[in-house]
Amino acid sequence: MEKLLLAIGLCVSLGGCCSNEAPAEHLSPDKAWKYVSFDRNCGATTRDNFQLSILPASKPLPNEAGNTFIADDNHGATRFVAQAEWIASRKIKITYSTKARIFKKETKIGPIAITYVEEP
């Protein structure tokens, strides 16, 4: 039993129990940057979520939570959580549901500015 608890504690502390699923990469118009949208699965208690990381185009997505935006479906309150799109080489627009639960909402990552639009 002690070994099981130690393994679970180690897994949780190192973030190894979670995985980024269905990543979709979207290059900036100048192809220097990308945003990656994905669902982060941390087991049976994870809600439907939308996460977004902004990275230089050459960098792989690390196995960690999004660095830009994180939201979930608020216990099923909405089917649409969020979507993102490039609107210029250094600007992204994220449209999200007013019913979504927002956990992270950055306005700038490196040289990339992020604007937000709420949608009912």
Query: Residue 57: what pLDDT?
Result: 98
Answer with the residue of higher pLDDT: 68 or 9: 68
73: DSSP letter: -
Strands 49-56 and 33-41: antiparallel
Domain range annotation of the chain: 19-119
E-assigned strand segments in 42-81: 49-56, 69-72
Residues whose CB is less than 8 angstroms from the CB of residue 26 and which lie 6 or more positions away in sequence, other chains included = 34, 35, 36, 37, 84, 85, 86
pLDDT band at 16 (very low <50, low <70, confident <90, very high): low
Which uninterrupted H or E stretch holds 2?
Answer: helix 2-14
Query: Residue 7: what pLDDT?
Result: 41
What's the whole-model pTM score?
Answer: 0.84
Query: Residue 17: what pLDDT?
Result: 84
pLDDT greater than 80 at residue 6: no
Q: Which pair of structure tokens corresponds to residue 11?
A: 């897994």
